[in-house]
Amino acid sequence: MKKLLFTKIVFVFALLFASLTSAQTITGNVSDKNGPLPGANVLVKGTTNGTQTDFDGNYFIDAGSNKTLVFSYIGYKSLSVSINGQTVIDVSLEEDANKLDEVIVTGYGTQVKKDLTGAVTVVDTDELLSVPATTFAQQLQGRAAGVSVVNDARPGGEATVRIRGFGTLGNNDPLYIIDGVPSQQQSNLNPNDIESLQILKDASAASIYGSRAANGVIIITTKKGKLGKPSITYNTFYGTQTAAKGAEALNATELGSYLYLADLYAGKTPSHGQYTFGPTGQVTIPDYVFPSRGSEGDAGVNPDLYSLREGNIYAITRSADTNWWNEVTQTAPIISHNIAASGATDMANYAFSLGYFSQESIMKFFSYDRISLRANTEFKALNKKLSIGENFTASFDNRKGVLDNDSEQSALSGSYKHHPLLPIYDIAGNYAGSRGANLGNNFNPYATMERNKDDRTYGLRLLGNVFADYEIIPNLNIRTSAGIDTRVSRTRDLGRPQPEYVEGNFINSSSARETYDYQWTWTNTLTYSKSLNEVHNFKAYLGTESIQLYQESFGAGRQRFAFETSNILSFLDLGDATTASNYGGVNRDYTLWSQFGQFNYNYDGKYLAQVTLRNDASSRFQLASRSAVFPAASLGWRVSDEKFMKNVSWIDNLKVRYGWGKTGNQEIGDYNAYTTYQSNIVTGGYPIDGSAGTPTIGFATQSFGNPKAKWETTTSNNFGIDLVMLDNKASVTLDVFSQVTSDMLINVPVTYTAGQANEPAFNVGQMTNKGFDLALSYGDTKGDFSYDIGGNISVYKNNVDTLEGESTRIFGQSRRIPALSITEAGSPIASFYGFQNLGIFQTQAEADAWAPYGDYNAPGKFKVADINNDGVINDDDRTIIGTPHPDFTYGINLNMSYKDFALNVFGNGSQGNDVFNYVRYFADFNTFQGNRSTRALFDAWQPTNPQSAPSTWVAANPNASTPIMDANDAVSSRPSTYLIEDGSFFRIKNIQLTYNVPSAILNMFGLANAQVYVQGQNLVTFTKYSGLNPEVQLGNTGDSNRNLTLGYDGGGQPVAKTFNVGLNITLK
């Protein structure tokens, strides 16, 4: 009815002004090769007069007969048609491989891709979904130039995302904007719900997010209903995962040989609490390891003596030859189901999805489940001037069991450290421990996993926004959006006793922890766009935003439950109330208030300019420095639209861009300005009255304050070229950047004489990142065969320019060895630090001739470089011995299709980075009792004449890489180049063969579309790295200083080799 009225009015107008304007109504149909295109845009060129096609692809528009109509649709090449008096114009749009007309969300507004002037990467969501993963961030690995992603391979693990290197010593996590709602969290989003993902890499693009944008911004838009009839889809896959690589541990006999030789070469008479050694080192394995070196028939192994209770521990245990890696790993399933329904009319759109994802770990007794629900709707009213809508997701996830990365006592570490003479169970079927002599102090790795199998971490996340948008006058819109990101996490940790463990006990326990947080965001924008004389195109917006974030946690625990079944141990009420403990406090508390604006201008699409300004005021800074302004400007020139380029037929699109801008970083903790105290017994209590049971509570400093902290600022310059050529077959995007971060905020190491408390952030120093991002693609179609190949490469060079104030050298984490990383001016952040080994001494003469290193120098020992040439080796000879930063990271993607088949191959890699292999500390050296790596025995330097005095030793294997086995050696394991390895790798992440079910079959089942596929993940990794996985996590995510120790492998779950079969269908 309305349409009819509209048509009538148009008709009347047309009659009245026909002679003046030659206006006329034009009708037609827009389609693509598959049929009508509902929702395609039809615009009179140079005006804001436009419409959209209806369900059947039809449109009406009035326009002067001398005008031009522009037809566009996301993902298709725009088409311009001169009216020239026609009244019916039907067009067919072609899909656009380069998507130049794609609308990109670039902040609080949108831009057409071809008009972009900043460094923005758009990632194809189909590509993302080809990698089954918990989070989109894991899927992002290798997909975008300038973005480095390091995965945590555990089910439910998150990924560490770095955009263009390390901008600061402090927090380097990018900001995520999900349907306009900011978040620092990746977790819990269903990747299937993502419609598009944009990465704002340089300041000219990102500075609209001001103080939170220094590490780049990832903008995620979730799926909305599209005009047309409802679409119902179902996607599923099932896969099995196996460990891609195992631990290189010795077996029981080999370990015996190692121990014999280590004693022998140390000048000791070889002896061991379990093994018996023959005169030339023949290894005899005992029948029993508890009692130590027990033999069948001994009085001590009489099963009647067996006891495992408090006050009498005599757990008789037979010897074994256990391959712990095989015992703790498994073939594990991975499953995903996803049902989605969506659609739209011209007055409303809706999208709904339900997802289920479940993954077991390749380590036993650990898994992750997630159920997520999403509903996105939008309604229009008041003649389409008003639209209101919402985007919401609720997701619930559950981590079952415990699997720690980088933990000495995890099952993973146990798989290479736990003694192979030990079985899983003792003679009574209880878990076997290492109480016998010389068996080390590892947890039984299998028992560790099994006992934690009932631990749970439940997470509930609600994320979304409601918005209203009103068109005040044509092209002037006011919009308000209220967003919320709220999470509740509940952990229950059941402590099952491990009486068999040498340091164990009989006390069970249970603890519960609950955290909730909310962040609300209220954003208001006013947007206006205008075109003048068909060539001057303006677009601008102004806005305000306020954000509040708050997080609190609470926990409690009890011990001594009557039974250890999970339904008893899970509930604190059932424990002994006299053992109760609890805690609670505030974790996060911060507010941000901002005003911002952006102005875009282009001249005929050829000359592009953008200016951005944002003012942020943060509760984290004191009044004097609370606000800061972040400006940015960028220019673009579409060279290919110039007249002189018309003859260059092989170039379809050429744009050069330059952008400059400032962004900030305010991740310094919420109360940085204040010195505060805490009063807990551990840090402040003392039994001043002599009580043996109740300490008096005292106060201790909790945090030092620095009221003078001001904003950290990153100033970036970016020069980019976008080139599309060879009839749209090839494209190149190159961005060259330089980013200087000044007034770098870091929680500085405070001088020890000031005491110890949480260190406040100070503005210290400056850091520079320079580099380039390059993305290339080429594709073509030959008959039924089509292919495309794409690649990207990311290069950054990081340098700490200055560090001033409190400290000029900042050490990273120390473990059982001193700090292994150093950050100092003139070197990249977190460079590896230690001794430089020049090889292994082959003879006593060589050792004697070298600068003395205490009494360490001897045949078979490391020849340590005398860095300062002072003639002795000591701690001054430590130096930078490696870099965790790659020369470049890259991804390569290949798609081929022939008729109904499609093949995708995707790989990614990193080149030139070093890894600090801390696993070797335990596995290769004379450290804790327990197992050793194959290197420690087979690659070790050995003499041909071991029975002679060491001074006369002759090398049996002069090319050995590992030092001599020596039971008295505590020096070789110091941080040195031995622990540094080349971490370069290239991994074929995905090989997928897809069959598109032909329409004849589809019709039989009432399907519009169906695909089945088989897929192999992580099938091959090319690397020289000896550890389980060259792709190493950055330390703990909660630690603000985790960037000070990079590329450190403390033992993490390796990636799984996965075989999947999948099915995607769309109902008719």
Partner 1 sequence: MKKITSITLLMFSFIAVLIACSDDFLNRQPLGQFSEQDVASEEGVQSLLIGAYNMVPGGGLTGQTWHNDIHNWVFNIASDDALKGTDAGDQPEQSFIESYDFQSFNVHIRDKWRGLYKGVMATNNVIKTLEKVEKISEANKKQIIAEARFLRGLFHFEAKKMWRMPTYVGDDVFELNDLESTKVPNDRDIWPLIEADFLAAASVLPATQSEVGRPTSWAAKAFLAKAKMYQGWDANGTANTSKLAEAKTILDDIINNGPFSLTAKFEDNFKVSTRNNSESIFEVQYAISSASGDVSNRGIGLAHPYIDPWGCCGFYQASQNLVNAFKTENGLPMLDTFNNSNVPSAVDPTTKLSVYNGTLDPRIDHSVGRPGILYKGFKIYQTDFVRDLTYAGPFYSMKHVAEPEAFGQGGWGNLSANNYRIMRLDMIYLWLAEAEVELGNLERARQLVNTIRERATNTNDYVKKALQGAERNSFTVLDEPAANYNIALYTDSWSDPTVARKAVRFEARLEFALEGHRYFDLTRWGIASEVLTKYIASEGQLRTYLKGRNFTKGKHEFFPIPIEAIDRSSLNGQATLKQDPAY
Q: Closest approach of Cβ 825 to partner 1, in Å?
A: 11
Main-chain phi, psi angles of 262, to 5 degrees: -65, -40
The pair of three-digit structure tokens given for residue 882, joined into one six-digit string: 């490696």
Find tokens 């962040």 and name the residue. 519
Nearer to partner 1, 617 or 1007 (CB): 617
Q: Strand, helix or coil at 295?
A: coil
Of 849, 838, 843, 848, nearest in space to 977 by CA: 838
589 binds partner 1 (CB under 8 A): yes
Q: Determine contact, residues 175/210, Cβ cutoff 8 Å.
A: no
595 binds partner 1 (CB under 8 A): yes
Q: Closest approach of Cβ 988 to partner 1, in Å?
A: 38
Cα separation, 488 vs 719, whole angstroms: 43
CB-based contacts of 1032, cutoff 8 Å, min separation 6: 150, 915, 983, 1047, 1048, 1049, 1052
18 binds partner 1 (CB under 8 A): no
Q: Closest approach of Cβ 1017 to partner 1, in Å?
A: 37
868 binds partner 1 (CB under 8 A): no
- Scored b (16 or more CB within 10 A) or e, 669-692 reads bbbbbeeeeeeeeeebbeeeeeee
Q: What angle do CA 692, 696, 698 make, to 5 degrees?
A: 145
Q: For residue 452, is it left (φ>0), alpha (ψ between -120 and 50) or beta?
A: alpha
Q: Closest approach of Cβ 929 to partner 1, in Å?
A: 5
Nearer to partner 1, 678 or 717 (CB): 678
Q: Closest approach of Cβ 365 to partner 1, in Å?
A: 25
Beta bridge partners of 457: 399, 491
Nearer to partner 1, 126 or 689 (CB): 689
Nearer to partner 1, 8 or 268 (CB): 268
Nearer to partner 1, 876 or 887 (CB): 876
971 binds partner 1 (CB under 8 A): yes
Q: Closest approach of Cβ 116 to partner 1, in Å?
A: 28
Beta bridge partners of 864: 837
DSSP 296: T
Of 434, 454, 436, 452, nearest in space to 444 by CA: 434
Residues in 827-866 that interact with partner 1 by CB under 8 A: 854-855
CB-based contacts of 623, cutoff 8 Å, min separation 6: none
Of 882, 890, 881, nearest in space to 985 by CA: 890
Give counts: helices (H), strands (E), the chain. Answer: 14, 58
Nearer to partner 1, 438 or 904 (CB): 438
Name the residue type at position 318. R
Residues in 995-1054 that interact with partner 1 by CB under 8 A: none
Question: Which of residues 585, 826, 958, 998 is near partner 1 by CB under 8 A?
Answer: 585
Q: Closest approach of Cβ 930 to partner 1, in Å?
A: 9
Residues in 387-406 that interact with partner 1 by CB under 8 A: none
Q: Closest approach of Cβ 722 to partner 1, in Å?
A: 37
Q: Closest approach of Cβ 261 to partner 1, in Å?
A: 14
Nearer to partner 1, 806 or 939 (CB): 806
Q: Strand, helix or coil at 19?
A: helix
Name the residue type at position 610. Q
Question: Which of residues 21, 184, 475, 559 is near partner 1 by CB under 8 A?
Answer: 559
418 binds partner 1 (CB under 8 A): no
Q: Closest approach of Cβ 1035 to partner 1, in Å?
A: 14
Residues in 296-315 that interact with partner 1 by CB under 8 A: 307, 310-314
Q: Closest approach of Cβ 699 to partner 1, in Å?
A: 4
Nearer to partner 1, 274 or 889 (CB): 274
Residues in 669-708 that interact with partner 1 by CB under 8 A: 670-671, 674-705, 707
Find tokens 């579409």 and name the residue. 638
Q: How far is CA 860 from CA 212, 844, 953, in A?
A: 53, 9, 9
Q: Closest approach of Cβ 668 to partner 1, in Å?
A: 13
Q: Closest approach of Cβ 639 to partner 1, in Å?
A: 40
Cα separation, 823 vs 251, whole angstroms: 40
Q: How far is CA 318 from CA 250, 425, 432, 502, in A?
A: 19, 9, 9, 16
Question: Which of residues 240, 323, 524, 531 is near partner 1 by CB under 8 A?
Answer: 524
Residues in 930-949 that interact with partner 1 by CB under 8 A: none
Residues in 443-482 that interact with partner 1 by CB under 8 A: 470, 472-473, 476, 478
749 binds partner 1 (CB under 8 A): yes
Nearer to partner 1, 230 or 755 (CB): 755
Cα separation, 971 vs 974, whole angstroms: 6
Q: Strand, helix or coil at 979?
A: helix
DSSP string, 834-901: EBPEEEE--SHHHHHHSPP-TT---TTSEEE--TT-SSS-SGGG-EEEE-SS-SEEEEEEEEEEETTE
The pair of three-digit structure tokens given for residue 645, joined into one six-digit string: 């380029």
Q: Determine contact, residues 220/231, Cβ cutoff 8 Å.
A: no
Q: Closest approach of Cβ 429 to partner 1, in Å?
A: 20
Cα separation, 410 vs 970, whole angstroms: 24
Residues in 896-925 that interact with partner 1 by CB under 8 A: 922, 925
Question: Which of residues 166, 596, 811, 978 is near partner 1 by CB under 8 A?
Answer: 811
926 binds partner 1 (CB under 8 A): yes
928 binds partner 1 (CB under 8 A): yes
Residues in 609-628 that interact with partner 1 by CB under 8 A: 617-620, 626
Cα separation, 158 vs 139, whole angstroms: 11
Nearer to partner 1, 32 or 471 (CB): 471
Size of the site for partner 1 (CB under 8 A): 124
Question: Which of residues 253, 276, 715, 874 is near partner 1 by CB under 8 A?
Answer: 874
562 binds partner 1 (CB under 8 A): no
Residues in 147-206 that interact with partner 1 by CB under 8 A: none
Q: Closest approach of Cβ 715 to partner 1, in Å?
A: 25
Q: Closest approach of Cβ 608 to partner 1, in Å?
A: 29
Nearer to partner 1, 239 or 575 (CB): 575
Nearer to partner 1, 12 or 586 (CB): 586
872 binds partner 1 (CB under 8 A): no
Residues in 241-270 that interact with partner 1 by CB under 8 A: 263, 266-268
Cα separation, 243 vs 1056, whole angstroms: 5
1063 binds partner 1 (CB under 8 A): no
660 binds partner 1 (CB under 8 A): no
Residues in 61-90 that interact with partner 1 by CB under 8 A: none
Q: Closest approach of Cβ 82 to partner 1, in Å?
A: 36
Q: What angle do CA 171, 173, 176 make, to 5 degrees?
A: 140
- SS3 readout for 742-788: ECCEEECCCCHHHCCCECCEEECCEEEEEEEEEEEEEEEEECCEEEE
CA atoms within 13 A on the CB side of 1047: 31
Nearer to partner 1, 704 or 862 (CB): 704
Q: Closest approach of Cβ 291 to partner 1, in Å?
A: 9
Cα separation, 677 vs 679, whole angstroms: 7
Contact letters (x/-) for partner 1, 277-296, by CB under 8 A?
---------------x----
Nearer to partner 1, 63 or 592 (CB): 592
